[in-house]
């Protein structure tokens, strides 16, 4: 009879430890999945799914006056005054400038180098000299008339920026 009590007590203690360990493992596993979907959201809410590449967006906007887009890119620069615009990396080196719909939201000034998903309207445009000079001044670079007047511009309605654990 004592052996039965001892075995019963031993089994119940081990099972409790095993069940608790398993619960931590399951919870820990699901938190890893949450890290993969870890984004800071700005502007209108958007989902990260179905985003095209920056190059595909550039190809599309080259054949249209304006184009509704949702694409993924890497931020190369952010306005250091307010975070009111950002530039993106493209494979061919052409500038892609993003501003925010109705000046309604800004992004963190330290977001350069992070992955971003943008939803909005893209257009290919020639800037007036005053606007191009303003952008150059905000970025702390000298104005270059040959490089700074033509650009692909995106007016973003929603932006997702990858959190640190997403990089």
Domain that holds residue 16: 1-36
Radius of gyration (Cα) for the chain, nearest Å? 25
Residues near 115 by beta carbon (within 8 Å), at least 6 away in sequence: 72, 73, 74, 75, 161, 162, 166, 167
Same domain, yes or no, for 75 and 9? no
Q: What pLDDT digit, counting tens, does each position of 142-166 carry?
A: 777 766 667 789 999 999 999 976 5
Residue 140, pLDDT score: 74
Residue 63, pLDDT score: 83
Q: What pLDDT digit, counting tens, does each position of 71-105 carry?
A: 999 999 999 999 999 999 888 777 799 999 999 99
Domain CATH number, residue 98: 2.40.50.200
The winner for highest mean pLDDT among 23-27, 95-99, 115-119, 133-137 is 115-119
Estimate the share of the chain in helix, then strand, then coil, as percent rounded to the nearest 5.
40, 30, 30
Residue 116, pLDDT score: 97
Same domain, yes or no, for 69 and 144? yes
Same domain, yes or no, for 15 and 71? no
Distance CA 116, CA 127 (A): 24
Same domain, yes or no, for 28 and 90? no
Same domain, yes or no, for 47 and 17? no
* H or E stretch covering 11: helix 2-36
Same domain, yes or no, for 110 and 76? yes
Q: Residue 49: is its pLDDT beyond 50?
A: yes
Residue 37, pLDDT score: 58
Same domain, yes or no, for 44 and 20? no
Same domain, yes or no, for 30 and 77? no
Distance CA 79, CA 142 (A): 15
Q: What is the domain count for the chain? A: 2
Distance CA 100, CA 85 (A): 7
Same domain, yes or no, for 24 and 45? no
Comparison of pLDDT for 58 and 139, the residue scoring more: 58
- Does the global pTM surpass 0.75? no
Same domain, yes or no, for 29 and 43? no
Same domain, yes or no, for 44 and 91? yes
């Amino acid at each position: 009879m004592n052996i039965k009590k001892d075995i019963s007590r031993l089994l119940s203690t081990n099972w409790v430890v095993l069940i608790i360990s398993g619960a931590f493992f399951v919870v820990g596993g699901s938190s890893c999945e949450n890290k993969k979907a870890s984004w800071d959201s700005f502007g209108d809410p958007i989902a990260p799914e179905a985003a095209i590449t920056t190059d595909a967006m550039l190809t599309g906007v080259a054949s249209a006056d304006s184009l509704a887009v949702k694409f993924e890119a890497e931020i190369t620069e952010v306005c250091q005054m307010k975070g009111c615009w950002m530039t993106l990396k493209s494979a061919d080196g052409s500038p892609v400038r993003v501003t925010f719909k109705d000046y309604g939201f800004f992004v963190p000034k330290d977001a350069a180098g992070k992955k971003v998903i943008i939803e909005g309207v893209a257009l290919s445009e020639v800037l007036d000299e005053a606007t191009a000079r303003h952008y150059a001044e905000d970025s702390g670079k000298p104005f270059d008339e040959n490089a700074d007047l033509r650009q692909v511009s995106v007016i973003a309605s929603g932006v997702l920026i990858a959190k640190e654990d997403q990089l």
